Amino acid sequence: MELQSHRTETVKEGRERQREGEGEDGVTAGGGGGGGKKAGMKRRHEEEEDEDETSPTKKQVPDHSVKVASHYNSLQEVGLAARSRSRIFFMRNFNNWLKSVLIGEILEQVRGAGPQQISVLDLGCGKGGDLLKWRRGGINHLVCADIAAVSVEQCQSRYEDMKRKSHANEKIFSAQFITADCSKEVLSEKLDHPELMFDICSCQFVYHYSFESEQKADMMLRNACERLKPGGYFIGTTPDAFELIKRLEASDSLTFGNEVFKVSFQSKGSYPLFGCQYHFSLEDVVDVPEFLVYFPLFEHMAKRYNMRLVMKQRFSEFSEEKVKKEHHRSLMMKMMALEPFPCEDGGRQATDSRGEYCHAKDHSSRAGVRLPLGTLSRSEWEATSIYLVFVFQKMC
Ligand SMILES: C[S@@+](CC[C@H](N)C(=O)[O-])C[C@H]1O[C@@H](n2cnc3c(N)ncnc32)[C@H](O)[C@@H]1O
């Protein structure tokens, strides 16, 4: 099936068609020209693509990957003390807990299929925020790749520190670190072991950077999936395009957000399938251009790599379901993934802003509720509830 034709379709149109009863494959049907708004969009894309490279009128297209890499490279590593003072301390812990649960459950699935050496690709590994999760999961080999060279260096030194400080009887996984734009370069050509196959590719808060163009999104997907063993998993977290658009359309400007995060679009009403850029800023952590990932198209593209979607859930649904299990709940406490309300020992909540804990206050006044509750401030919840979790599996 040809994805070229999808360029004429917008996210909104795709959603409308889906409502009209077309299934996941419906994304292929919308292309092919047509009139009105669609034709306008198609023309814009084609003009951009067909223009002569040497044309003096050709617009300089900024390379967003460079911006993204330099943003993440410039982020400072902060110590535990500074992190615990962050306005989004609990939200970051919550996101980390959610990733831990996802990684833990996928490792269980992989192990359930029989004893084996487990190899993992961490695509967009950043500074190695998930290294401890892989250690806890007892994997055998890890390949970490990221576009930001400074982050990859920090990830590697964190890994070496971890190995140095580990007990003599603990066997820490072997690892390779690669700096590469995974939406442009073929990772398999850079592997130390050219025959290596992965059980899991984990792509946490990364895939949306590649939706700048079809070529980039496809290369990222190829890197995620081409070296997966049959039955292997591609897991990740990414913003939910429908939720972003819903909030944008409810806003009376091109921006929405609160005291911890802000999302700004350049226009609204029509959303191209690729290259639909928005600017995302989150406290002191993120301040970069990102791109909408229209999930039905992502799912469709993944089929090229023999991948089947086995789970897609918003963070809210995923966390509500997982917290019912005792071991996930106790990990949640251990990781301080929720903020105690009311705060204990005369301490202060993460923010004094009005209305940030109304939901917790209401809930705590109900009969039989044991205090303190675990919660997130309204602003942190609004920020984290943008995201979704996905799991694809390679068909045998
Ligand atoms: C929000 S951080 C997530 C880091 C890590 N996965 C985590 O969950 O802690 C996004 C990461 O994606 C990386 N990234 C963005 N575009 C990329 C690309 N084209 N190729 C490889 N890495 C990329 C960034 O450099 C950054 O480290």
What is the residue extent of each domain of the chain?
Answer: 91-238+292-323+387-394
Tokens for 296, please give them.
């039905």
Each residue's pLDDT tens digit, 273-282:
999 999 999 9
Centroid of ligand 1 to alpha carbon of 342 (angstroms):
35
181 annotated binding-site participant:
yes
* C-beta atoms surrounding 23 within 10 Å: 8
Among the residue ranges 31-40, 59-68, 251-260, 288-297, the one predicted with the least confidence is: 31-40
Is residue 180 predicted with pLDDT exceeding 80? yes
Measured between alpha carbons, how far is 156 from 178 in angstroms, rounded to an integer?
Answer: 10
| Contact indicator for 263, 248 with CB cutoff of 8 Å | yes
Query: What's domain 91-238+292-323+387-394's architecture?
Result: 3-Layer(aba) Sandwich (3.40)
Is residue 205 within 6 Å of ligand 1 at its C-beta?
Answer: yes
Each residue's pLDDT tens digit, 128-176:
999 999 999 999 999 999 999 999 999 999 999 999 999 989 999 999 9
Measured between alpha carbons, how far is 247 from 268 in angstroms, rounded to an integer?
Answer: 11
Residue 33 confidence class, pLDDT cut points 50, 70, 90: very low
Q: Which helix (H) or strand (E) holds 299?
A: helix 295-302
Q: Choose which residue among 146, 212, 237, 280 to substitute to test ligand 1 binding: the one with the highest number of ligand atoms within 8 A of its C-beta.
A: 146
Question: Nearest residue CA, atom 8 of ligand 1?
Answer: 204
Q: Choose which residue among 68, 70, 200 to substitute to test ligand 1 binding: the one with the highest number of ligand atoms within 8 A of its C-beta.
A: 68
Tokens for 285, please give them.
């952590």
Is residue 129 within 6 Å of ligand 1 at its C-beta?
Answer: yes
Give the neighbor-by-neighbor strand order of the sheet with 174-179. 174-179, 141-146, 119-123, 198-204, 228-239, 387-394, 307-314
Is residue 331 within 6 Å of ligand 1 at its C-beta?
Answer: no
Centroid of ligand 1 to alpha carbon of 147 (angstroms):
7
| Contact indicator for 145, 182 with CB cutoff of 8 Å | yes
pLDDT at position 18 is 43
Measured between alpha carbons, how far is 29 from 35 in angstroms, rounded to an integer?
Answer: 15
Each residue's pLDDT tens digit, 232-279:
999 999 999 999 999 999 999 999 999 999 999 999 999 999 999 999
pLDDT at position 72 is 94
* C-beta atoms surrounding 59 within 10 Å: 8
Residues 6+ apart with CB under 8 A from 281: 257, 261, 262, 287, 288
pLDDT at position 176 is 98
Is residue 206 within 6 Å of ligand 1 at its C-beta?
Answer: yes
Centroid of ligand 1 to alpha carbon of 323 (angstroms):
27
Provide the 3-class DSSP secondary structure of residue 264. strand
